[in-house]
Amino acid sequence: MSDVVHAAKRLLLGRPVRSDRLGHTLLPKRIALPVFASDALSSVAYAPDEILLTLAIAGLGATVISPWVGLAVVVVLVVVVASYRQNVHAYPSGGGDYEVATVNLGPKAGLSVASALLVDYVLTVAVSISSGAQYASSAIPALRGHEAEFAIGLVLILALANLRGVKESGTAFAIPTYLFMFALGSLAVVGAIRALTGTLPMAETAALEVLPEAGFEQGLVGLAGAFLVLRAFASGSAALTGVEAISNGVPAFRKPKSKNAATTLLLLGTLSTTFIMSILLLARATHVHYVEFPASQLLRDGVPVGEDYVQNPVIVQLARTVFAGITPVIVLIAVVTGVILVLAANTAFNGFPVLGSILARDGYLPRQLHTRGDRLAYSNGIVALAGGAIVLIWAFDAQVTRLIQLYIVGVFVSFTLSQLGMVKHWNLLLRTEPDGRGRDRMKRARIVNAVGLGLTGTVLIVVLITKFTRGAWIAVLAMGVVFLVMRGIRAHYDAVRDELALGPEPATARALPSRVHAIVLISRLHKPAMRAIAYARASRPSVLEAVTVSVDPEDVVELRKQWEALDMPVALKVLDSPFREITRPVVGYVKSIRRESPRDLVVVYVPEYVVGHWWEHLLHNQSALRLKSRLLFTPGVVVASVPWQLESSIARSNPQAWSAP
Amino acid sequence: MSDVVHAAKRLLLGRPVRSDRLGHTLLPKRIALPVFASDALSSVAYAPDEILLTLAIAGLGATVISPWVGLAVVVVLVVVVASYRQNVHAYPSGGGDYEVATVNLGPKAGLSVASALLVDYVLTVAVSISSGAQYASSAIPALRGHEAEFAIGLVLILALANLRGVKESGTAFAIPTYLFMFALGSLAVVGAIRALTGTLPMAETAALEVLPEAGFEQGLVGLAGAFLVLRAFASGSAALTGVEAISNGVPAFRKPKSKNAATTLLLLGTLSTTFIMSILLLARATHVHYVEFPASQLLRDGVPVGEDYVQNPVIVQLARTVFAGITPVIVLIAVVTGVILVLAANTAFNGFPVLGSILARDGYLPRQLHTRGDRLAYSNGIVALAGGAIVLIWAFDAQVTRLIQLYIVGVFVSFTLSQLGMVKHWNLLLRTEPDGRGRDRMKRARIVNAVGLGLTGTVLIVVLITKFTRGAWIAVLAMGVVFLVMRGIRAHYDAVRDELALGPEPATARALPSRVHAIVLISRLHKPAMRAIAYARASRPSVLEAVTVSVDPEDVVELRKQWEALDMPVALKVLDSPFREITRPVVGYVKSIRRESPRDLVVVYVPEYVVGHWWEHLLHNQSALRLKSRLLFTPGVVVASVPWQLESSIARSNPQAWSAP
């Protein structure tokens, strides 16, 4: 790493953190709630919109039933929160659904959950950030048409914030999350009071007409109508994501970890339920209309409103209605909602690297994901997550309605398998638990988890049926690919471990080579060559020879002359090179030594320049590099690099200095 | 390299060739003429066109003087050929203009010539191939609008052919070149006979009118007219490129090399002169019209012919006139001209890598350009040339008239400096030559080179004046950049050589380290670790210890247990790692050993997995790699890689087998 990169890294990421300071980054509840619950909370910024938008396909009348669809979502939410409170108590180590499924249902189920969650974390970032960009562009006209670029910029900023570490981001994100709760709470309370006192005005879109799609001229009737209601429910279920983030993040809580996590879950459920229902009820009361394609679907006096019409998100429309005339409040609500959506993506930035690190520990992902980066956050996972989200945002042009079709599949796969695992978990415990009170508690917990299993399984089926052809297949395919790749990596690591394991008689592995045959590779007689010869002599091998490859006969004659003039203490052997190559003759010679004395160890000393600039690599060491990598393929060979530090490399090694004690 | 890549390389490039078979690829005259002269010969396919096109800017009447412009080009050609016959006799080693300028005028002049030639070789490929694509698209309507893609495809095919080696390409290219000579000779002879017998018809474009550019309504008058004639002459001078290719390529000729090269030069001059003059005279006799933008510049009955009009190249127009009605002959002439243009680029593929290799030998280019590839051709140079030409073709959309503005500058820089060098060469020789006959011969030669110097210098100035703002500045800039880069590379190599050179007392460089302190890096106790310990013990160091880094305390406890259970003969040292890194603690420990005993040599044994597939690299060795590269920055350290060949690597090492004796 050059000095510039090093300095930039320090500037952007801060100083590295010691392992023993890990405890300091644990989160108290008041910080954990905004960090882990912002995902689920922020989804009220788009989940109600998606319910209204889907129902609007059947025209104006259909949206009247939106509170009932919302209620169905809330019922599922309550059940899931109740189930997960069992999970965090039973499995406080933070493997979350992955651990529950692995322990109770086996590694395949665990790996399925992990694949589903990894894909869904990426989608969480993509959906939240895209929705945030939508809010921003409804407020700032200059952003219109550039939502995708704006969203990608936001992902990059978030990734950097998280590379700096979880503690700092937790504190920075708490204030806007609490502001959001306060803003949405005020909207609900003031809206309810104005409705009760009969002073609630109509929304700005109340006067518009909605053009139903072909086939829905009669409204929500028949099978198609029922299917549309299910689709609206499936889209609204996006409000449930984020619950699993808390159960995966238990280790980041302060002690008592499980209790604190369970309390945070309860808080989250209460807040989400309140917000979703109040938004949908207020939207019905003020006749808010919200559609996917406003230009053609919304009619004013029987005529489409056209491309110039700007459709505000539902929360913004409600704020402009409830707080009509009080511009600062309206702006505040719009701004905090936009900000909370961006911060919601942060949930995934907390959860994804933790899960990736656990998977790397279990051998399902490359080992370097388990090693921590300079900062305590797991840098590699953060980078992978940001990369995936950017690809999705770019591919779907930051359109929430299109991204939401891919969403939730993973979360509900995880919910369902995890609840199945919990039911099995209680069954197992009940077999051995003699205490009556304990048994009763377990039986109650089992009922909660069984209800959760039934409900989440049903929602999973609904989601798959209503969304599969509209984009969910992409998510399913991605999970399949991730599953197969992770299984392949694990199989590879297992095979290598078996190959390398010491046999029943490890003493045989200790047999020493009988003699050491050392070779020093020489191209010219300069300081690096002299050093390599001196070092090789210092190790006192049984045989020591200098070897050069004759590419140009004149050079060899010159080298021999110098050799004699300096009265070198080592014999020089010249290898013929009919193909003008360096590598092949050397490898051939080493192999011939091994053939003649198979119990000898051959040590090849390679003088090497250490350079300070990347471009110097283009000018030096090219043949040494190729030679070294080829020699490693030959059994019974040790390749010893004898470095010569060029002056340009001295500066390069200085950044090292600050780590010295 | 994987097996597939290896097999593909064999298939495309053929088997490698031994050094001692180098003599077999030398060229007899009958093959050397098409290989080296095709560039200069083929330029008759576009040089006359450019003369006519430039003069046509002043309208119909101006093109009447085209034979006179052609005659001026021919005069320069004759003088240059005469001069270069002196060069090939005086400098038969093939450094060509670079060698002549370096020896007589110093390294800066030599490097200037080299930069100019390198840039012009790239342009030769770009111009010839683009013109060839023009011929092809005039014959095959489907290619129209896709000339650039077609041209890039041709460059790639040529590069592959040359990577296979010069001998095979020489034989393959001889037949079309001779066919081309025969075709153009027939065109000239039959055309002349028909003109003399009064049976020569008018060309198909004779009936069209040419719209003069604004300012040239009066034809070729005043300063603007004179300037236009000079521009036409400068564009026509493209016919002179290729002469220097022969003088650079002398070593590729059969013995007597110089005589054969001089004879080939004479042949080339005669043929070029004949073709250029006969084409321009026939064009005037048959009233061929040729313009840059036919759609708007050509009028039929006072109306522009429009976008649908297809303008045939001059040679094609002449063939259709002289051989009117005999379609097979017309098609043959068009096809061989197109083919010869593609093959002409081959001249550059012969000259460029030779020059690059000479420059690499002199330290002006990275050393690996001097090492030969699998085949005798210098693969790296061929790849660089093809890359440069593709960029130019792509940037200028394969338009010959635009590319020709960049062309020739380099060749005439080289001509001029080389002739100046030759004049100085004769001056030097004359100072010491006592023999009268010898002196007379040298004086004659000096006159030839002096005339050459005067004429080529004048042409260079004309070319720079008429073309600088039209594109020649790009070529000049490129030459400047190439010059500076090459000088920088040489300065770097010089600095490194001085740094590494043995001092006046080389014995001090022989002082042996007092003791060897060996360290074996251990992460787990498996076969590779056992092998590394055994190899380290076999080298009997003064101190030997196993070192592990404590990233995860549990792992260390486990390792210690295993260590004791196996009763390992080496002590295990555990390094603390507060930042969860591997590299830093190890480097710090090695430095502390060096601090305590500065005269000790520290040998670090690193067990390493050798894998067979690229993706396995992502799963293994990442920390070993980083550690090794950091350790090399520490003075007094030898890094010994102890490879463990995984089963997957066995297949990978097999392609090696065929090289075994």
B567-596 residues touching A, CB cutoff 8 A: 569, 577-580, 582, 584, 587-588, 591
The CA distance from A170 to A164, in Å, is 11
Hey, are the CB atoms on A526 and B500 less than 8 Å from each other? yes
Beta bridge partners of B589: none
Q: Which of A359, A530, A575 to mutate to test the interface with B (most CBs of B within 10 A)?
A: A530
Output the six-digit token pair for B364. Answer: 């002006």
Who has greater pLDDT, B467 or B368? B467
The CA distance from A586 to A549, in Å, is 8
pLDDT of residue B184: 93
- How, if at all, do strands B209-210 and B298-300 pair? antiparallel
Interchain contact B19–A (C-beta under 8 A) = yes
* Out of A104-118, B66-80, B81-95, least confident range: B81-95
- pLDDT tens, position by position, A187-245: 999 999 999 998 899 988 888 888 888 878 777 778 888 889 999 998 898 888 877 77
What amino acid is encoded at A525 in this protein?
L
- pLDDT tens, position by position, A545-587: 999 988 778 889 999 998 988 888 899 999 988 766 778 889 9
Mean predicted confidence (pLDDT) in B351-365: 83
- pLDDT tens, position by position, B539-576: 888 999 999 988 778 889 999 998 988 888 899 999 98
* Run of H or E residues at B405: none
- pLDDT tens, position by position, A402-445: 898 898 888 889 889 989 999 999 999 888 888 888 888 889 99
- pLDDT tens, position by position, B458-474: 999 988 988 888 888 99
The CA distance from A113 to A120, in Å, is 10
- pLDDT tens, position by position, A64-102: 889 999 999 999 999 999 888 888 888 877 657 888 888
The CA distance from B462 to B484, in Å, is 26
Hey, are the CB atoms on B510 and A489 less than 8 Å from each other? no
Helix and strand numbers (H, E) in chain B are: 25, 8
Output the six-digit token pair for A417. Answer: 């398998």
Chain B hits for A638, Cβ within 8 Å:
535, 605, 640-643
pLDDT of residue B275: 93
User: Distance of CA B606 to CAs A368, A372, B548, B552, Å?
Assistant: 18, 22, 11, 20
Which residue in B500, B616, B660 is closest to A528 by CB distance?
Answer: B500
Hey, are the CB atoms on B647 and A371 less than 8 Å from each other? no
Beta bridge partners of A543: A517
Interchain contact A64–B (C-beta under 8 A) = no
Hey, are the CB atoms on B526 and A643 less than 8 Å from each other? no
Nearest to B563 by CA among B552, B576, B573: B573
Hey, are the CB atoms on A634 and B653 less than 8 Å from each other? yes
pLDDT of residue B661: 29
Hey, are the CB atoms on B623 and A368 less than 8 Å from each other? yes
- pLDDT tens, position by position, A497-555: 888 888 776 555 567 787 899 999 998 888 888 889 988 988 888 999 999 988 778 88
* Out of A405-419, B18-32, B253-267, B607-621, least confident range: B18-32
- How, if at all, do strands A516-521 and A303-304 pair? unpaired
The CA distance from A117 to A245, in Å, is 9
- pLDDT tens, position by position, A99-153: 888 889 999 999 999 999 899 899 999 999 999 998 888 778 788 888 899 999 9
Phi then psi for residue A218, to 5 deg, are -90, 0
Contacts 24+ apart (CB under 8 A), B470-478: B470/B405, B471/B402, B471/B403, B471/B405, B471/B406, B472/B405, B472/B406, B472/B409, B474/B406, B475/B119, B475/B120, B475/B123, B475/B406, B475/B407, B475/B409, B475/B410, B476/B409, B478/B119
pLDDT of residue B652: 55
Hey, are the CB atoms on A534 and B509 less than 8 Å from each other? yes
Asked if the interface predicted TM-score (ipTM) of this complex is over 0.90, the answer is: no
Output the six-digit token pair for A640. Answer: 């010893």
pLDDT of residue A500: 84
Which residue in B502, B588, B635 is closest to A645 by CB distance?
Answer: B635
pLDDT of residue A247: 75
Nearest to A44 by CA among A241, A324, A229: A241
A509-538 residues touching B, CB cutoff 8 A: 509-513, 516, 525-528, 530-531, 533-535, 537-538
B233-262 residues touching A, CB cutoff 8 A: none
Tracing tokens 């390294």 back to the chain, one arrives at B107
The CA distance from A402 to A396, in Å, is 7
Return all residues near B613 (Cβ < 8 A) that are at least 6 apart: B2, B648, B652
pLDDT of B238 > 70? The answer is yes
Mean predicted confidence (pLDDT) in B214-223: 80
pLDDT of B171 > 70? The answer is no
Confidence of residue B653 (pLDDT cuts 50, 70, 90): low
Chain B hits for A603, Cβ within 8 Å:
539, 640
Chain B hits for A641, Cβ within 8 Å:
628, 632, 638-641
State the virtual CA torsion across A650, A651, A657, A659 in degrees, nearest 10.
-110
Nearest to B103 by CA among B357, B358, B352: B358
Which residue in A500, A632, A643 is closest to B643 by CB distance?
Answer: A632
pLDDT of residue B190: 94
User: Distance of CA A635 to CAs A277, A623, B643, B647, Å?
Assistant: 70, 21, 8, 12
**Helix B47-55 / helix B66-90 crossing angle, nearest 10 deg:** 140
The CA distance from B322 to B187, in Å, is 7
Interchain contact B467–A (C-beta under 8 A) = no
pLDDT of B133 > 80? The answer is yes
A246 near A155, Cβ under 8 Å?
A: no
Q: For B475-523, give the DSSP string.
A: HHHHHHHHHHHHHHHHHHHHHHHHHHS--S-GGGGGPPPS-EEEEEE-S
pLDDT of residue B524: 84
Closest chain A residue to B518, measured at CA: A539
Mean predicted confidence (pLDDT) in A303-330: 88
Percent of chain B with pLDDT over 70: 89
Peptide bond into A256 cis (omega under 30): yes
B171: left (phi over 0), alpha (psi -120 to 50) or beta: alpha
The CA distance from A297 to A59, in Å, is 9
Beta strands in A449-587 (DSSP E): 516-521, 543-550, 571-576
pLDDT of residue B193: 92
pLDDT of residue A274: 92
pLDDT of residue B580: 67
First-to-last CA distance in chain B? 21
* Run of H or E residues at A442: helix A436-467
Who has greater pLDDT, A617 or B557? B557
Confidence of residue B370 (pLDDT cuts 50, 70, 90): low
Confidence of residue B347 (pLDDT cuts 50, 70, 90): confident
Return all residues near B575 (Cβ < 8 A) that are at least 6 apart: B547, B548, B549, B550, B585, B586, B589
Which residue in A530, A639, A647 is closest to B510 by CB distance?
Answer: A530
Maximum Cα interatomic distance, chain B, rounded to a whole number of Å: 109
The sign of the torsion formed by the CA atoms of A24, A27, A29, A35 equals: positive
B513 near A534, Cβ under 8 Å?
A: yes
pLDDT of residue A507: 54
Beta bridge partners of A164: none
- pLDDT tens, position by position, A6-48: 555 544 454 444 444 444 467 777 777 877 777 788 889 999 9
Confidence of residue A658 (pLDDT cuts 50, 70, 90): very low
Length reported for chain B = 661
